[in-house]
Amino acid sequence: MTQALEVKDLQVEFRLRSATVRAVDGVSFAVDEGECLGVVGESGCGKTTTGLSIMRLLPTGGRIAGGSIRVAGTELTGLNTRAMRRLRGRAVGMIYQEPMTSLNPTITVGEQVAEPLRLHLGLSRTAARNRTLEVLDLVRLPRPRERLDSYPHELSGGLRQRVMIAIALACEPAVLLADEPTTALDVTIQAQILELLDDLRANLRMAVVLITHDLGVIAGHTDRVAVMYAGRIVEVADTATLFSRMRHPYTRALLQSIPRLDHDPERPLASIEGLPPSLAEPIIGCRFRPRCSFATEVCALKDPMLSGSPAHLAACFNPIDGPGELATSPGEQTTATPAQGETEGERLLELEDLVKEFPLTIGGALYGSAGQSVKAVSGVSLSVRTGETFGLVGESGCGKTTLGRLIVGLQRPTSGIIRFGDEDVTALRGSHLRRSRRYRQLMFQDPFASLDPRMRINAILGEPLAIQRLGKRGERQSRIREVLGEVGLSERVLDLYPHELSGGQRQRVGLARALMLNPRLLVADEPVSALDVSIQAQVLNLMKALQQRHALTSVVISHDLAVIRFLADQIGVMYLGEIVEIGRAADVYACPAHPYTRGLLDAIPRPAPAEARRHRKPSVKGELPSAVTPPSGCRFRTRCPLAQDVCAEIAPKFSKFGEEHHATCHFPLVPAIDDRTASSYAGQT
């Protein structure tokens, strides 16, 4: 087997004003032609820095301090800038983590894919355009000829990612680096992208380095795995061996942190307590020791080196043998106590035939044909009981976030009714609406974007109390400290700014701000989508404990059904503005009736190689249709493997599949128990 990439003893430093950070410290690995190596670990472990070092694209302040990088026999570390430019994109290509920030917003898709063809292969404009069409077709971009003159912002996230792959593959490089290529994508689009990478690797015989924090992705799409922690590789083995006979405690901890569909929701998720060490200071002993339950005295004295057979190496003085029993973090089992004046089981929130449309006009200018609008929410009806968690799942663009913003009063519905308690809140205006919002709070998807960068955490948490004019200054400070303790943060963060906190800390601040006013209803929009699996488990455990402690009613929005399975009592599956399936969590997961629900479940990455490979082919293909002109009849029919002529002519109505289990489908996966249908479903049992 020909070796395409070899990295030996790579060392990368970043010089800061006060210190030098050794971000990568002695990393070595090799990848053969046609092989896929997975590099996995938490944020900050050095994965992306390793990839950027191979591309020689380190940011300002970073430099390769030592080691060797060879691509197809050529040493890269000693090349000058001009020589490296000739190889970058020709011999080695890279798919970057966020396509929207990596693609040039001022240049068309066709020009961006054609650029490396003209620079490296010397093709004429016409020849480059023809080759661009071939490459876009290779990465399965729908209607590639129509997309040539599109700009990145005109494409969905999945299509932008395909364009990024096309740019990286245009010159058929020997090595492809894929840095978190699916992190920002829905599970259905993620499955399509990963399947595409598998097929391209097989057809083009490329060596692929797949960088990710998701062991579920690793399980189904790699041949070997290197686990990184604090700038070093701590374990490397073939994929099947790593999952069945792992030796390093960190590898086991990463695996156990992943939410699974078969996890008992009554038990807390396993998580890795603490944070990786600072790489700006010398580290004595094992870097994982402060977070390791197997650490002994020798771990504090010496740094373990990789050892074992050439096929399976691990850096640990006390190696383990396999995944073992799934351990869980200490969690308190609390009995939820309904708030004063409320009875558990009563309906707190009811939505009746809710509609939200956004006209295609901006500042009086018309975008699209007259009368057109984005149909974000179309006739949604559901109810949530006091003390219950309702999980809302679906792909990006299906209307989940819009529905959440309608529930908390940040947007007004086009039509329909929102009842909160005994009150129709859609009729409220002015100060009455502001007071009502106190009891309906939103936990935003991106805490960094939703926290004011000019305000310290103390001011951010105190702002809701000041706006609602609650308490005196001393009482407000007492409340801030109380909530801060509940979300597991030290009072030391009160004097910090958002950028000085980690992602997990910012997410906890976002949760604390939402809880400051003692809300009766919390809407959490993708609360853990941007977090590593270890931090994700901590935040999910915290949310569930607080919900139980305060009898908090919640609506949790996510595209991750494994996360929703852990948190939710009831689940609603949303597609293109409509609820297509709704019911108790156990019923929907055990026996999904709608093909879309089944497709979402099948697309979840499974952290077990044999099972993951059985589910590699996505059952839901294609992109979400336009919400401006949704398909006639059943909106899912354009992507449904069971669709027939009737699906285009008649919109399906709700049928009953269990005591509280309903779905809209002409050809459900299981027989309905009641042939009677209803034009809408308001959550009645």
For 210-227, the pLDDT digits (tens) are 998 888 889 989 999 999
pLDDT over threshold 90, residue 550: no
* Rounded mean pLDDT, 523-528: 89
Q: What is the pLDDT of residue 206?
A: 92
pLDDT of residue 633: 96
Instruction: Identify the helix (H) or strand (E) that includes residue 598.
Output: helix 595-602
Q: At residue 680, does pLDDT exceed 50?
A: no
Q: Taking 50 as the threshold, does the pLDDT of residue 336 lie above it?
A: no
Percent above pLDDT 90 for the chain: 56
d(CA 91, CA 93): 7
| Length, in residues, of the chain | 685
3-state secondary structure of 26: strand
Mean pLDDT along residues 671-678: 65
Categorize the per-residue pLDDT at 356 as very low, low, confident or very high, splitting at 50, 70 and 90. very high
DSSP 568-585: -SEEEEEETTEEEEEEEH
Q: Is the pLDDT of residue 96 over 70?
A: yes
Average pLDDT over residues 537-547: 86
Q: Residue 617 above 80 pLDDT?
A: no
* Residue 681 pLDDT: 45
According to the model, what pLDDT value does residue 184 have? 64
Q: Is the pLDDT of residue 363 over 80?
A: no
The answer on pLDDT for 507 being more than 90 is no
Express each pLDDT in 6-36 by its tens digit: 999 999 999 877 788 899 999 999 999 999 9
The proportion of the chain whose per-residue pLDDT surpasses 70, expressed as a percent, equals 93
For the stretch 76-86, pLDDT in tens is 999 999 999 99
**Helix or strand or coil: residue 416?**
strand
* Amino acid at residue number 554: S
Tens-place pLDDT, residues 109-155? 999 999 999 999 999 999 999 999 999 988 888 888 988 999 998 88
The answer, yes or no, to whether residue 451 has pLDDT greater than 80, is yes
Is the confidence at residue 661, as pLDDT, over 90? yes
Helix (H, G, I), strand (E, B) or coil at 150: coil
Torsion (CA) 46, 49, 54, 59 in degrees, nearest 10: -160
**Inter-residue contact 375 to 398 (CB < 8 Å):** no
Contact (Cβ atoms closer than 8 angstroms) between residue 516 and residue 479: yes
Q: CA Rg, the chain, in Å?
A: 26
- Per-residue pLDDT for 328 more than 60? no
* pLDDT per position as a tens digit, 62-74: 999 999 999 988 9
Tokens standing for residue 516: 């400051």
Mean pLDDT estimate for the chain: 87
Tell me what pLDDT residue 365 has: 52
What's the CA gap between 2 and 567, in Å, rounded? 48
**Which of 268-277, 309-318, 612-621 has the least mean pLDDT?**
612-621
- Evaluate if residue 239 carries a pLDDT over 90: yes
Q: What is the maximum span of the chain, computed from C-alpha positions, in angstroms?
A: 75
Q: Could you give all domains of the chain from N- to C-terminal order, each with its CATH number? A: 3-91+173-314 (3.40.50.300), 108-170 (no CATH), 347-439+519-678 (3.40.50.300)
Element (H, E) at 378: strand 373-385
C-alpha triplet 351, 679, 347: angle, nearest 5°: 30
Task: Give the three-class secondary structure for 443.
Answer: strand
**pLDDT by residue (tens digit) across 466-488?**
988 888 999 999 999 999 988 88
How far is Cα 527 from Cα 129, in angstroms, rounded to an integer? 42
What confidence tens digit (pLDDT) does each residue in 508-520 have? 899 999 999 999 9
Distance CA 448, CA 504 (A): 11
Residue type for position 503: G
Grouping H, G, I as helix, E, B as strand and the rest as coil, residue 381 is strand
Q: How far is residue 165 CA from its own chain's centroid?
A: 19
Provide the pLDDT for residue 119: 92
What pLDDT, on a 0 to 100 scale, did the predictor assign at position 325?
A: 58
Q: Binning pLDDT at 50, 70 and 90, where does residue 281 land?
A: confident
The pLDDT value given to residue 262 = 82
Q: Does 682 score more than 50 pLDDT? A: no
Are 447 and 512 spatial neighbours (Cβ–Cβ below 8 Å)? no
Distances (CA, A) of 135 to 115, 170, 683, 684: 13, 6, 48, 52
- β-pair partners for 678: 654
pLDDT of residue 334: 43
Structure tokens at 573: 């599956």
Residue 608 has pLDDT above 50, yes or no: yes
What is the pLDDT averaged over residues 396-416?
92
Q: How many CB atoms lie within 10 A of CB 321?
A: 9
- Give the pLDDT band (50/70/90) at residue 405: very high
Cα 201 to Cα 173, 194, 209, 262, distances in angstroms: 11, 11, 11, 32
Three-state secondary structure readout of 232-257? EEEEEEEHHHHHHCCCCHHHHHHHHC
Among 409, 498, 422, CA closest to 458 = 498
pLDDT at residue 237 is higher than 90:
yes
DSSP state for residue 88 in the 8-state scheme = B
Q: Return the amino acid letter for 70.
A: R
Residue 538, pLDDT > 90, answer no
